[in-house]
Amino acid sequence: SQTIHQWPATLVQPVGSPLSLECTVEGTSNPNLYWYRQAAGRGLQLLFYSVGIGQISSEVPQNLSASRPQDRQFILSSKKLLLSDSGFYLCAWSARVPNEKLFFGSGTQLSVL
């Protein structure tokens, strides 16, 4: 069966520090991968998605970047965090076929102070 791992679960970082969140998927090949953010009082917003190694699409302009160095690995990064980067970050995957469900990781609660 397929599983998705996301870490760390919580993170407290000072403004201006770098960020690296990692997500890996097991039990499947060639998944579509996604990073979503859930900010306090706001809905889930798609940040990045990837349909293959090295292929990254950004949905909103922001202080973050994403990379996919391996087929089942997705990384969210920032060189200098802003207060507005605080939120609950969720990695997700779906099979690369139509009408497949989206499966989420357990999330990372990021607090930028």
Interface contacts to other proteins, rule CB under 8 A: 6, 32, 34, 42-46, 49, 51, 59, 88, 90, 92-94, 98-107, 109
Q: How far is the CB of 80 from other proteins (least distance, A)?
A: 27
- 17 vs 57 by CB, closer to other proteins: 57
- 16 vs 27 by CB, closer to other proteins: 27
* Burial of residue 49 (number of CB atoms within 10 Å: 0-12, 13-18, 19+): buried
- 18 vs 45 by CB, closer to other proteins: 45
- 45 vs 62 by CB, closer to other proteins: 45
CA-based end-to-end distance of the chain: 38
> Following DSSP, what letter does each residue of 3-53 receive, concatenated?
EEEEE-SEEEE-TT--EEEEEEEES-SS-EEEEEEE-TTS-EEEEEEEEET
**Using the 8-state DSSP alphabet, how is residue 54 labeled?**
T
Q: How far is the CB of 56 from other proteins (least distance, A)?
A: 13
Q: How far is the CB of 93 from other proteins (least distance, A)?
A: 7
